[in-house]
């Protein structure tokens, strides 16, 4: 029976597919760490209280990158180059989602509008990350190889999502509600297309590594297209709603370390 658990178990059990999976994940997390670090350095003076939370977000992403690299190291594996068609973060930027890297490389203060754009982008992408890690936690929390890492990263992603909700609501109450809803909608509709394309590319690479028959590859591709159809018809709306999270100030403290994976 083809299921999310059996599919990932197959990827996990093969060194080459596991190496590709971890390399893609580590690259994306490290890129997110750099982006958040630069944003924390460039927040406008009026939002200086937000800087430590953005920095904490970046530190968490850097930590996740180290964890995925450490998971490879535990199995004696080296990272591989990430195929560009599987680079979720890069493709989002190419679609105009979030703050451009060229802007972040300049030593110019961001505007409040830039911060709102960053938070709206993060609210959408952290929704995806939280859901993906929740799925892995459901099936692999008890796995001796990756269980601890999955639980740690999943908890962080939930915190990131809560932080985005709380900060966006703060900006909405300050009069930015219309901009926030517009940016969230644009970002969500772009993200679901990028996620579809990246998912198809990743499954294509995994299929070649694992020798999947054409029928299995076609079934998985059909499933990815079906998810996109659902999201395009209305599933994207879950990515744009804003509710005050139960856990307030989720990024207000120091980040948990990853020394056990170093």
Instruction: Enumerate the domain spans of the chain.
Output: 4-241
Q: CA 247 to CA 241: how far, in whole Å? A: 17
Domain 4-241 belongs to what topology?
Ferritin (1.20.1260)
Greater pLDDT, 241 or 258 = 241
Stated pTM of the model: 0.93
* pLDDT band at residue 2 under the 50/70/90 scheme: confident
R_g over Cα of the chain: 18
Question: pLDDT (tens digit, 9 = 90+) per residue, 23-46?
Answer: 999 999 999 999 999 999 999 999
| Nearest to 54, CA basis, from 42, 44, 66, 39 | 39
Which of 94-103, 170-179, 191-200, 202-211 is predicted least confidently? 94-103
The answer to whether the CB of 223 falls within 8 A of the CB of 200 is no
Q: Residue 255 above 70 pLDDT?
A: no
Per-residue pLDDT of 192-251, as tens digits, reads 999 999 999 999 999 999 999 999 999 999 999 999 999 999 999 999 999 999 999 999
């Amino acid at each position: 029976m083809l299921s999310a658990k059996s599919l990932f178990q197959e990827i996990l059990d093969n060194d080459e597919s596991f190496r590709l999976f971890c390399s893609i994940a580590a690259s994306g997390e490290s890129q997110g760490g750099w982006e958040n670090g630069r944003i924390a350095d460039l927040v406008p003076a009026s939002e200086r209280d937000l800087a430590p939370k953005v920095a904490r977000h970046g530190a968490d992403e850097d930590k996740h990158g180290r964890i995925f690299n450490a998971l490879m190291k535990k199995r004696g594996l080296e990272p591989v180059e990430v195929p560009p068609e599987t680079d979720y973060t890069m493709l989002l930027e190419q679609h105009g989602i979030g703050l451009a890297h060229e802007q972040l490389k300049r030593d110019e203060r961001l505007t409040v509008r830039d911060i709102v754009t960053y938070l709206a982008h993060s609210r959408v992408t952290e929704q995806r990350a939280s859901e993906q890690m929740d799925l892995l936690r459901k099936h692999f929390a008890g796995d001796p190889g990756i269980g601890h890492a999955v639980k740690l990263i999943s908890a962080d992603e939930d915190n990131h999502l809560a932080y985005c909700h709380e900060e966006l609501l703060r900006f909405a109450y300050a009069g930015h509600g219309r901009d926030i809803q517009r940016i969230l909608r644009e970002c969500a509709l772009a993200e679901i297309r990028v996620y579809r394309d990246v998912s198809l590319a990743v499954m294509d690479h995994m299929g070649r590594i694992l020798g999947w028959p054409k029928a299995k590859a076609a079934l998985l591709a059909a499933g990815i297209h079906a998810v996109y159809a659902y999201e395009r018809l209305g599933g994207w709306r879950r990515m744009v709603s804003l509710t005050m999270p139960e856990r307030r100030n989720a990024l207000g403290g120091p980040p948990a370390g990853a020394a056990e994976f170093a």
